[in-house]
Chain A
Amino acid sequence: MADVAIPRAKPQMSEASAWTQLKYNRNWLGFWFMVPAMAFLIFFLAYPLGLGIWLSFTDTRIGRVGQFIATENYEWLWDDSIFWLSVFNTLLYTFVASAFKFAIGLYLALLLNEHMPFKAMLRAMVLIPFIVPTVLSALAFWWIFDSQFSIISWSLKQLGLISQNINFLGDTTWARICVIFANVWRGVPFVAITLLAGLQTVSPSLYEAATLDGATRWQNFRYITYPLLTPIIAVVMTFSVLFTFTDFQLIWAMTRGGPVNATHLMATLSYQRAIIAGQLGEGAAISSAMIPFLLAAIMVSWFGLQRRKWQQGESND
């Protein structure tokens, strides 16, 4: 009812006071309030987004205005095996890393939801990998995965499990495993802490009731925790997938796409082609090729949110 009361009160107010239409009309006022945010988002987000798509149809280079060349960039990429390799790498990276992030994140959230001493401190510590700038922790991983002085190789050698150093970032398979590991390492705290916030809203009486009825721990999880958590899982995982798919800095700090392009993602390839090689048009085509995937992820997020509202019994707002 409060919503209804306000609009009725407003026109009387603006009549009573002698201020101009511009100052009291809610639409104009709303417009003025939106100006700063909109200015930023239009000039530095919406316009570049369109410009990027336009650039992908031109042969622009650094320092030279391009000509419209229709879909030539895309045709060129279609025959480019490195591009397809980067698409494959991106999909592999996204799926494997997201799956692990989800599994470990959910598990960690369940563990942290238990009662134990130093709970608050543990939760705070878990989030540290997410706070520290990605590049800086990626450098630590670079050092941990060093080909000669890796602490992991050393420990395994001491344990007698391997006889030679593992060439972590020089071997194609190992390099992929390492960057995925680093990504999972960084992503798990985010997933765990957000899911933990979701877990805390689940009423303990549900578990008590189910346990009285003889439910096992697995059944408690499967039929109470998981269904109640689905909406928040949908949102968290969409964010996670989105940011993994467009990841750049972790790869750039650890491998720069090597060895033999085995860890090149679409974002790193577009940076290499556009900024380092100077082919802005081609780079823009690669990054525009990411848009369909992102749209798919956004659709998932959208339906996840819809379902959440429906579950809360909230009407369309």
Chain B
Amino acid sequence: MTDLPASKVDLKSVISAPSRVDNSEGMSYLQSVPRRLVTLYLPLTIIVVVLLFPFYWMALTSVKPDEQLLDLDKYNPFWTWNPTFKHFHKLLFESYYPHWLWNTMYVAICATVLSIVASVFAAYAIVRLRYKGANLVGGLIFLAYLVPPSILFIPLATVVYQYGLFDSPLALILTYPTILIPFSTWLLMGYFKTIPFELEECALIDGASRWQILVKIVVPLAIPGLISAFIFCFTLCWNEFIYALTFLQSTSNKTVPVAIVNEFVDGDIYRWGSLMAGALAGSLPLVILYAFFVEHYVSAMTGAVKE
């Protein structure tokens, strides 16, 4: 029935099976080492190097002295032996950078907290209260997720202007939740669905109100989901560009991405060092946050797609 090589292999695996730990290499013993080198490690190395090279380049540029940046013939551009913190010094003490960093953080945290609170209520109502039309509202929220900021920024600019919020961080704090609420509601709905109904029934019988159930049972059980949603929303806020570019005007009010593009890009030929230092300093907080919560981050990303 089966052809010869396959059955041989099968036999081998059956024999060695009991001695193998469960999460062993699976079927990969079918491949020889040289073959794995060419089909797996080589392409993987190339892709990872390409993916990470811009960050290496960013970091290297930010510590290179100016003359080495522009003289590619005398110095090897891929390394430097005399790193300098001049660019960072310029960034921290001769520009508004700390201010911008603070603005970004402030806006991101406020908008994230607002959205998560709103989303917890909305997700709980849609999944567990099941009021009339809950499914329809769930669908509409999913659609809201698909409305991109690039088609909203023009009318939103007029709205923001009418409400007198122009050039104020409040404009961003109030508009970012439109991006965050659909996403985090959708994510939290998935988490709330996994909490057993019986827990809530018990609490209802013991006389708990819906509010008590939400605060004392559902939210504590959904903490991993909340962390995921929080981190992902925070990253989205930090990354947001077009609203911040449109709604903010004065230099000191800007967020990091907008400020770097608008304030650091000037005619100076020696701008690269401080530009890259600014980009690096603006990315590091997110990368550090990500390093601590990789699992939550990935589950947020895949959870939103899966649901």
| Chain A CB within 8 A of B301 CB | yes
Q: Which residues of B contact A245 (CB under 8 A)?
A: 148
Q: List A residues 28-59 near B (Cβ within 8 Å).
A: 29-31, 33-38, 40-41, 43-49, 51-52, 55
| Chain A CB within 8 A of B143 CB | yes
User: In the complex, what distance in Å separates the CA atom of A31 from the CA atom of B44?
Assistant: 51
Query: Nearest chain B CB to A140's CB is how many angstroms away?
Result: 4
Known interface pairs A37-B121, A242-B146, A275-B157. Does A132 touch B40 (Cβ–Cβ under 8 Å)? no
Q: Which of A185, A249, A275, A287 contacts B257 (CB 8 A)?
A: A249
- Can you show 30 pairs from A to B with CB atoms below 8 A apart? A2-B197, A30-B131, A34-B137, A36-B122, A40-B177, A44-B174, A44-B177, A48-B152, A108-B44, A125-B52, A131-B283, A136-B279, A137-B283, A143-B272, A144-B54, A146-B272, A151-B77, A193-B301, A204-B27, A213-B6, A232-B306, A245-B148, A246-B149, A252-B245, A267-B151, A280-B158, A290-B150, A291-B151, A294-B147, A298-B146
Evaluate contact between A48 and B156: CB separation under 8 angstroms: yes
| Chain B CB within 8 A of A84 CB | no
Query: Nearest chain A CB to B129's CB is how many angstroms away?
Result: 4
Evaluate contact between B43 and A185: CB separation under 8 angstroms: no
Nearest B residue (CB) for A7: B130
Q: List A residues 205-257 near B (Cβ within 8 Å).
A: 207-208, 211-214, 232, 235-236, 239, 242-243, 245-249, 252-253
Evaluate contact between B117 and A211: CB separation under 8 angstroms: no
Evaluate contact between B70 and A149: CB separation under 8 angstroms: yes
Q: Which of A132, A214, A301 contacts B6 (CB 8 A)?
A: A214
Query: Nearest chain A CB to B70's CB is how many angstroms away?
Result: 6
Give the number of chain A interface residues (Cβ < 8 Å): 109
From A70-78, A92-100, A109-117, A172-180, give the one contacting chain B. Answer: A109-117
Q: Which residues of B contact A143 (CB under 8 A)?
A: 57-58, 61, 272, 275-276
From B83-91, B94-102, B219-227, B236-244, give the one contacting chain A. Answer: B236-244
| Chain B CB within 8 A of A9 CB | yes
Query: Nearest chain B CB to A103's CB is how many angstroms away?
Result: 12
Evaluate contact between A197 and B260: CB separation under 8 angstroms: no
Evaluate contact between B239 and A133: CB separation under 8 angstroms: yes
Q: Which of B40, B154, B201, B283 contacts A9 (CB 8 A)?
A: B201
Known interface pairs A136-B282, A211-B30. Does A29 touch B150 (Cβ–Cβ under 8 Å)? no
Evaluate contact between A185 and B26: CB separation under 8 angstroms: no
| Chain A CB within 8 A of B74 CB | no
Evaluate contact between B151 and A197: CB separation under 8 angstroms: no
Task: Determine the main DSSP class of A at the interface with B.
Answer: helix
Evaluate contact between B151 and A140: CB separation under 8 angstroms: no
Q: Which residues of B contact A253 (CB under 8 A)?
A: 261
Evaluate contact between B305 and A236: CB separation under 8 angstroms: yes
| Chain B CB within 8 A of A5 CB | yes
Q: Which residues of B contact A40 (CB under 8 A)?
A: 114-115, 118, 174, 177-178, 181
User: In the complex, what distance in Å separates the CA atom of A190 from the CA atom of B51?
Assistant: 12
Closest 3 CB pairs of A and B: A30-B131, A33-B125, A37-B122
Give the most central of A9, A31, A55, A128: most B CB within 10 Å.
Answer: A128
Interfacial residues, chain A to chain B (CB-CB below 8 A): 2-3, 5-6, 9, 13, 17, 23, 26-27, 29-31, 33-38, 40-41, 43-49, 51-52, 55, 60, 104, 107-108, 111-112, 114-116, 122-129, 131-137, 139-141, 143-144, 146, 149, 151, 154, 185, 188-190, 193-194, 197, 204, 207-208, 211-214, 232, 235-236, 239, 242-243, 245-249, 252-253, 266-267, 270-271, 274-275, 280, 283-284, 287-288, 290-291, 294, 297-298, 301, 317
Evaluate contact between B6 and A44: CB separation under 8 angstroms: no
Q: Which residues of B contact A243 (CB under 8 A)?
A: 148
Evaluate contact between A104 and B185: CB separation under 8 angstroms: no
Q: List B residues 235-272 near A (Cβ within 8 Å).
A: 235, 238-239, 241-242, 245-246, 256-258, 260-261, 272
| Chain A CB within 8 A of B10 CB | yes
User: In the complex, what distance in Å separates the CA atom of A236 from the CA atom of B54?
Assistant: 25
